[in-house]
C-alpha cells in the first residue's frame, strides 16, 4: 500500500493492500473470539472493545494531532488542506470517515482525492464498524448454529459479495466505502479462522502459501483486468490472502519461509505496520502540497522514510505503553472515548487559527465561495442515481421555454454564468444539463452507468427542442496533471462528441468551449501562499500543451457548420502566464474549475469582442508538452 501511494506506477494495483488488511483483521479477530468462547463459553464484550480501543486509538489520536499541528503551523496558509484535514479528522474520531469520503469525493481514485490528508482512514472506519457488529454476530452463530457457524458465515459473506457487485455498477462510491460491501472480505479471514487446524500440514496446505502469494502479487500488478473495484474484482486478492492464511493456520509454513517471517526486519515491520499506515499518507500529501510543483519520487520517498521513523516512535512511545495490562476494561473504554472527545476539541481549535493577512484573506475567501448559482440545486452529482431529466425548474427564466442550453460535466457547470449571461442578452431562457465527471456525448461507460443514462436523457431533451444556442463544455483530456503525458482519450472524446452533433443539426449555434489552463494547486491556496507564479503555467507552455486538442476541435468544427469554437485563452492568460487571479478576482475556485466571476467576466469580454475569442479552424503545428 505504501509503495502504491509513493510510486503508483511501480505497483498499479497496490491499493489492494487494504483488502489484504481486511482479510487479516477478520482472521485475527475471529481467532481471538473463538479461543475465548472455547475457553470460557462466553465472550466479554467490554474487554474486547477495550482491547480494540487500546490497540487503535492511541496511535490514531497521536497521528491526528501531530498532522494538525504540522498543518496549522508551517502549512497554516494552505487553508484548503487544513480545513479538509480537520473535517476528516473529526469524522475519523467518530468512526465515520468512510461516510465522509463517500459523500465528499467522486471516489477514492477521483482527481483531487490525493490532496486529502486523512483519506486513508476510510478503511480504519470500516474496520471499526465491523468490530461493533461482528462479535455479536459471531456469538449468535456459535450459540445458535454450533455445528455450522462457518457455513452460516459463508452465506453472509456471499450476500455481502453480491451486494458489493450490485453497488459497484450503480453506486461505486458506496461499494468502495461502506462496511456491508466490504464485510465479505473480513468474513473471508473469519472463515479461515473457523476452519480446523490440521495436526500435520498436508500437500494442499503446503501449496496454499505460494499460490496465495502469487494471487496477491498478480492483483497488485494488474487489478484493473478484473473490472470495476471492488466486487468480484477483489476476489483474487481476497482468495490469495485467505490461501496464505490457511497455510499458516494449518502449520504448513516451514523452512526458509518460516525463517523469513520470523526474521528481525519482518517482525519489526509488522510491529510498526499500523503506525506506518497512519503516518505515510498524510506526509505524502503534505510533501505534495508544500511545493507548487508536483513532488518528485525523491521527495515522496523521503516522506515515506520520515513516516517510517515516526511509525517507530509511535509504536515505541504510544502504542506499547497503552497495551500494557492492568487497566480495567471499563476504564480503558472510558479513557478512549474521552481521548477522542479531547482530540476533537483540539483539532477544531487548531483549524480555527487564522494566519492570513486581511487583504489576502478577503480574496482567498472570495475565491472559495465564487461558485455557480445552480451548484447543489440543478447540477446532477455522480452519486445520484439519475432516473429522469427535469431541468424545467432550473431555467434561467422560470416558466419561459428555453432556447439556450448548457451541456457537459462539472466544467460545463462552471460556465453557467457565461451561458446565462448570453441567454439574458438574447432575451431568452437557458437550461442546464450538467453531471459531474460526465463529458457530453453518447455516453461514457468509464464514468459509470449514470453518465450513460444521463447523456441519453440529455440528448433526447435537446433533440426535441428548437434551440438557438447550445454551450458545450468539458475538461478536455490533455494530460493536465502529467507533465509530458500523451492524451490517449482525446481523439475518442472528440469523435464521440462529433457523433452526437450529427443529431443536433437543428441547433442554430453550438458553442464548444476550448481547453483552459489549470493550476498545480487550488487558486485560494496559491493566493494565500503567494505562489501566483509558481502555481501557474506560462502562457506559451499552455498554448503548446493544448495544441493537439485544438487540432482535434478544428476538425470537429470543419465537419459541423453550426459549431463555433470559443477560445478563452486571452482572457485567462496574459503575455507571460496564466495566473490564478486576474481582472481583480480569482479565475478559479479550485485548481481547474473557473470561478463564477471569471465565467461572467468572460461573457462580457466575449460579447464586446467575439472575434477575439472565436477560433477559426486551422491546421495546427505539432504540439509539445511543457510546464
pLDDT tens for each residue of 81-128:
888 999 999 999 999 999 999 988 766 766 667 789 999 999 999 999
DSSP state of 206: H
Q: Which pLDDT belongs to residue 356?
A: 67
189 with 295, same domain: the answer is yes
Those residues whose C-beta lies under 8 Å from the C-beta of residue 124, and which sit 6 or more positions away, are 56, 60, 92, 97
Give a yes or no: residue 519 inside a domain: yes
Give a yes or no: residue 226 inside a domain: yes
CA 114 to chain CA mean position, Å:
7
Q: Which pLDDT belongs to residue 625?
A: 40
Q: All 3 cell numbers of residue 446?
A: 468509464
How large a percentage of the chain has pLDDT more than 90?
55
Pick from 413, 448, 416: which is nearest to 430 by CA? 416
**Cα(148)–Cα(401) distance, rounded to whole angstroms?**
65
Q: Which pLDDT belongs to residue 106?
A: 65
Give a yes or no: residue 624 inside a domain: no
Residue 594, φ and ψ in degrees, nearest 5: -70, 150
126 with 233, same domain: the answer is yes
CA 95 to chain CA mean position, Å:
18
pLDDT in tens, 370-384: 888 877 677 765 444
Give a yes or no: residue 56 inside a domain: yes
**Cα(316)–Cα(312) distance, rounded to whole angstroms?**
6
Computed from CA positions of residues 83, 86, 91, 97, in that sequence, does the dihedral angle turn out positive or negative? positive
**pLDDT of 272 above 70:** yes
CB 452 within 8 A of CB 170: no
208 with 144, same domain: the answer is yes
Between 60-69, 317-326, 612-621, the lowest mean confidence (pLDDT) is in 612-621
552 with 503, same domain: the answer is yes
Q: Which pLDDT belongs to residue 429?
A: 95
Pick from 589, 587, 492, 600: which is nearest to 542 by CA? 587
Residue 582, φ and ψ in degrees, nearest 5: -165, 160
399 with 336, same domain: the answer is no
451 with 347, same domain: the answer is no
Give 269 or 382, the one with higher predicted confidence.
269
Give the CA angle between residues 616, 619, 621 to the nearest 5°.
Answer: 120
For residue 161, name the pLDDT band (cuts at 50, 70, 90): very high
Residue 575, φ and ψ in degrees, nearest 5: -65, -25
**Cα(573)–Cα(568) distance, rounded to whole angstroms?**
9
Beta bridge partners of 594: 588
pLDDT in tens, 533-575: 888 989 999 999 999 899 999 999 999 999 999 999 999 999 9
Those residues whose C-beta lies under 8 Å from the C-beta of residue 377, and which sit 6 or more positions away, are 394
Instruction: Examine the fold and report which residue of 351, 377, 401 is the final residue of a domain before the chain moves on.
Output: 351
Give a yes or no: residue 622 inside a domain: no
Q: Which pLDDT belongs to residue 558?
A: 95
Instruction: Tell me the mean pLDDT in the region 250-276.
Output: 82
**pLDDT of 386 above 60:** no
Between 503-507, 587-591, 614-618, the lowest mean confidence (pLDDT) is in 614-618
CB 153 within 8 A of CB 318: no
Give 306 or 385, the one with higher predicted confidence.
306
Give a yes or no: residue 291 inside a domain: yes
**Cα(192)–Cα(239) distance, rounded to whole angstroms?**
11
**pLDDT of 618 above 90:** no
14: helix, strand or coil: helix
pLDDT in tens, 571-592: 999 999 999 999 989 999 999 9
Dihedral angle over CA of 5, 7, 13, 17, nearest 10 = -40
254 with 184, same domain: the answer is yes
Q: Which pLDDT belongs to residue 223?
A: 54
442 with 575, same domain: the answer is yes
366 with 332, same domain: the answer is no
**pLDDT of 369 above 60:** yes
172 burial type by CB count under 10 A (0-12 exposed, 13-18 middle, 19+ buried):
buried
CB 537 within 8 A of CB 577: yes
Q: All 3 cell numbers of residue 130?
A: 465491523
Instruction: Examine the fold and report which residue of 327, 351, 375 is the final residue of a domain before the chain moves on.
Output: 351
Beta bridge partners of 563: 510
**Cα(605)–Cα(607) distance, rounded to whole angstroms?**
5
Those residues whose C-beta lies under 8 Å from the C-beta of residue 509, and which sit 6 or more positions away, are 468, 469, 470, 562, 564
Give a yes or no: residue 78 inside a domain: yes
**Cα(66)–Cα(346) distance, rounded to whole angstroms?**
11
Average pLDDT, the chain: 87
Give a yes or no: residue 626 inside a domain: no
Full domain range(s) for residue 494: 362-615
394 with 281, same domain: the answer is no
Those residues whose C-beta lies under 8 Å from the C-beta of residue 99, and which sit 6 or more positions away, are 91, 125, 177, 178
What is the number of domains present in the chain?
A: 2
**Cα(199)–Cα(400) distance, rounded to whole angstroms?**
80
**pLDDT of 626 above 70:** no
Instruction: Tell me the mean pLDDT in the region 190-198.
Output: 87
Instruction: Tell me the mean pLDDT in the region 300-310.
Output: 94
The 3-state secondary structure of 531-552 reads CCCCCECEHHHHHHHCHHHHHH
Instruction: Examine the fold and report which residue of 330, 351, 372 is the final residue of a domain before the chain moves on.
Output: 351
403 with 539, same domain: the answer is yes
**pLDDT of 235 above 50:** yes
Between 73-87, 307-321, 336-350, the lowest mean confidence (pLDDT) is in 73-87
492 with 532, same domain: the answer is yes
Domain containing residue 602: CATH number: 3.40.50.1110
Q: Which pLDDT belongs to residue 205?
A: 64
Amino acid at each position: 500500500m505504501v509503495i502504491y501511494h509513493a510510486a503508483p506506477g511501480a505497483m498499479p494495483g497496490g491499493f489492494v493492500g487494504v483488502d489484504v488488511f481486511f482479510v487479516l483483521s477478520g482472521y485475527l479477530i475471529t481467532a481471538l473470539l473463538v479461543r475465548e468462547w472455547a475457553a470460557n463459553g462466553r465472550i466479554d464484550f467490554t474487554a474486547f472493545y477495550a482491547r480494540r480501543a487500546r490497540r487503535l486509538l492511541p496511535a490514531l489520536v497521536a497521528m491526528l494531532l501531530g498532522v494538525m499541528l504540522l498543518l496549522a503551523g508551517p502549512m497554516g496558509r494552505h487553508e484548503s488542506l487544513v480545513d479538509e484535514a480537520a473535517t476528516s479528522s473529526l469524522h475519523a474520531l467518530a468512526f465515520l470517515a468512510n461516510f465522509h469520503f463517500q459523500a465528499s469525493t467522486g471516489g477514492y481514485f477521483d482527481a483531487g482525492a490525493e490532496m486529502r490528508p486523512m483519506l486513508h482512514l476510510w478503511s480504519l472506519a470500516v474496520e471499526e464498524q465491523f468490530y461493533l457488529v461482528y462479535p455479536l454476530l459471531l456469538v449468535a452463530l456459535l450459540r445458535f448454529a454450533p455445528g455450522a457457524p462457518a457455513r452460516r458465515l459463508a452465506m453472509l459473506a456471499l450476500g455481502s459479495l453480491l451486494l458489493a457487485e450490485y453497488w459497484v455498477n450503480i453506486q461505486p462510491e458506496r461499494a468502495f466505502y461502506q462496511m456491508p460491501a466490504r464485510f465479505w472480505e473480513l468474513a473471508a479471514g473469519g472463515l479461515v479462522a473457523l476452519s480446523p487446524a490440521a495436526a500435520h500440514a498436508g500437500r494442499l496446505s503446503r501449496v496454499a502459501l505460494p499460490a496465495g502469494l502469487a494471487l496477491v502479487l498478480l492483483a497488485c500488478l494488474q487489478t484493473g483486468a478484473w473490472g470495476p473495484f471492488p466486487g468480484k474484482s477483489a476476489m483474487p486478492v481476497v482468495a490469495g490472502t485467505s490461501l496464505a492464511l490457511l497455510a499458516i493456520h494449518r502449520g504448513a509454513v516451514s523452512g526458509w519461509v518460516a525463517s523469513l517471517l520470523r526474521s528481525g526486519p519482518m517482525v519489526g515491520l509488522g510491529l510498526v505496520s499500523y503506525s506506518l499506515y497512519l503516518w505515510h499518507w498524510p506526509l505524502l500529501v503534505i510533501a505534495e502540497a508544500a511545493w507548487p510543483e508536483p513532488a518528485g519520487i525523491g521527495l515522496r520517498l523521503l516522506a515515506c522514510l520520515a513516516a517510517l521513523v515516526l511509525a517507530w516512535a509511535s509504536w515505541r512511545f504510544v502504542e506499547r505503553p497503552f497495551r500494557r495490562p492492568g487497566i480495567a476494561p471499563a476504564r480503558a473504554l472510558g479513557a478512549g472515548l474521552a481521548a477522542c472527545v479531547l482530540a476533537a476539541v483540539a483539532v477544531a481549535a487548531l483549524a480555527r487559527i487564522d494566519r492570513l493577512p486581511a487583504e489576502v484573506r478577503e480574496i482567498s475567501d472570495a475565491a472559495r465561495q465564487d461558485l455557480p448559482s445552480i451548484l447543489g440545486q440543478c447540477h446532477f452529482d455522480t452519486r445520484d442515481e439519475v432516473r429522469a431529466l427535469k431541468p424545467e425548474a432550473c431555467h434561467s427564466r422560470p416558466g419561459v421555454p428555453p432556447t439556450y442550453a448548457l451541456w457537459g460535466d462539472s466544467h460545463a457547470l462552471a460556465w453557467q454564468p457565461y451561458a446565462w449571461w448570453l441567454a439574458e442578452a438574447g432575451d431568452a431562457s437557458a437550461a442546464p444539463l450538467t453531471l459531474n465527471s460526465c463529458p457530453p456525448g453518447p455516453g461514457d461507460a468509464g464514468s459509470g452507468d449514470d453518465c450513460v443514462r444521463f447523456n441519453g436523457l440529455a440528448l433526447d431533451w435537446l433533440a426535441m427542442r428548437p434551440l438557438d444556442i447550445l454551450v458545450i463544455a468539458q475538461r478536455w483530456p490533455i494530460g493536465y496533471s502529467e507533465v509530458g503525458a500523451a492524451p490517449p482519450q482525446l481523439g475518442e472524446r472528440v469523435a464521440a462528441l462529433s457523433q452526437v452533433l450529427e443529431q443536433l443539426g437543428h441547433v442554430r449555434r453550438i458553442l464548444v468551449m476550448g481547453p483552459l489552463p489549470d493550476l498545480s494547486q487550488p487558486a485560494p491556496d496559491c493566493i494565500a501562499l503567494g505562489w501566483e507564479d509558481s502555481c501557474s503555467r506560462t502562457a506559451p507552455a499552455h498554448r503548446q500543451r493544448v495544441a493537439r486538442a485544438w487540432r482535434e476541435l478544428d476538425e470537429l468544427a470543419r465537419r459541423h457548420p453550426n459549431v463555433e469554437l470559443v477560445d478563452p485563452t486571452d482572457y485567462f492568460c496574459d503575455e507571460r502566464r496564466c495566473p490564478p487571479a486576474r481582472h481583480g478576482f480569482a479565475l478559479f475556485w479550485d485548481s481547474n474549475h473557473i470561478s463564477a466571476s471569471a465565467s461572467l467576466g468572460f461573457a462580457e469580454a466575449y460579447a464586446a469582442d467575439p472575434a477575439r475569442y472565436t477560433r477559426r479552424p486551422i491546421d495546427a503545428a505539432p504540439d509539445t508538452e511543457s510546464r
